[in-house]
Amino acid sequence: MCLAVPGKILSLDCSIPELRMATVDFGGISKKICIQWVEAGVGDYILAHAGMAITQVDPVEAEKTLNEFETMALSINV
């Protein structure tokens, strides 16, 4: 089973032209993600799996998913 998580691109790093990277926010946790094969920029939402963006996603759906993750985390910590 695979898990892909939506995140919002905060900044781009194109210092290596062959490997476009981005800092992506996953509901308060930021990670460097490879976005080489996805047409996306700052402010866009992507779906990431294993450190790679696999597609761009609708921002409304991405926010819904991130909110659900937050709700689940809060119910575990109670």
Q: What is the mean pLDDT of residues 39-59?
A: 97
* Structure token digits, residue 60: 């409304």
Confidence of residue 77 (pLDDT cuts 50, 70, 90): low
Q: Is the pTM of this model over 0.85?
A: yes
What is residue 61's three-state secondary structure? Answer: helix
Q: What is the mean pLDDT of the chain?
A: 93
Phi/psi of residue 61, each to 5°? -65, -40
pLDDT of residue 78: 60
* Structure token digits, residue 6: 């939506």
Is CATH 2.30.30.140 correct for 5-76? Answer: yes
